[in-house]
Amino acid sequence: MDYQIKELMKQGLSRNEIFEQLKKQSGNQMRLANKIATFEHGSPSMQTVLLNRILLTLCLLQACFGIWVIYSNVVPMDEEFGWQAIVATFILTIFYFVGLFRKSFTGYASFILLCITVAAGYVYFFNHFPVVSIVGVLLAVAGGALSYTNKVRLFPHMGFMDVRKCKSGTYIFE
């Protein structure tokens, strides 16, 4: 299916025309719409590449900061849980980093959701660790905003988590 989309893009067909042509072959129209909307037919601009590199750095910085917070605050209270949290953070960071590095739609969307969750966690613990919470919220908000910016630049036909639809229920590709 990816090969067919690539060939039809090379022929100069619009995303709507490709969808209409391939929807009879596809068993799942939503999945087809996702593939067409997230298909990159050109290379991203230098500015987007630079923003993605900054985002990758922020991802690693946020993970290191989170691991430091867990090590300094959680491990002394509950050692086993603290080390499990550090390992989970490390593994999730690898997955998020790979998704962001590949510039995949799901990587950006997942990282945005992670940043929202992390920011909420830091806000919750603001009374106990105010300075750490402020820095954590700033890192999470910066990462989420940058991830959203890149996602919108690379995949303008996608909504927050799925292909955009108009009121009549048809997919919006252009």
pLDDT at 167 over 90: no
pLDDT digits (tens, 9 = 90+) for 98-154: 999 988 888 999 999 999 999 999 999 898 889 999 999 999 999 999 999 998 888
Q: Give me the mean pLDDT over the 63-68 stretch.
A: 95
Which residues make Cβ contacts (< 8 Å) with residue 173, sequence separation at least 6? Answer: 14, 15, 16, 19, 33, 36, 37, 157, 163
What does the block give as tokens for 44? 């991203």
Is residue 125 within 8 Å of residue 133, measured between CB atoms? yes
Per the model's pLDDT, the better-predicted residue between 120 and 164 turns out to be 120
Which residues make Cβ contacts (< 8 Å) with residue 16, sequence separation at least 6? Answer: 173, 174
Beta carbons within 10 angstroms of residue 32's beta carbon: 20
Burial-class residue 124 by CB neighbours within 10 Å (0-12, 13-18, 19+).
exposed
pLDDT at 174 over 80: no
Helical H segments across 43-104, by residue range: 46-69, 79-101
Residues in the chain: 174
DSSP 110-126: HHHHHHHHHHHHHHHTT
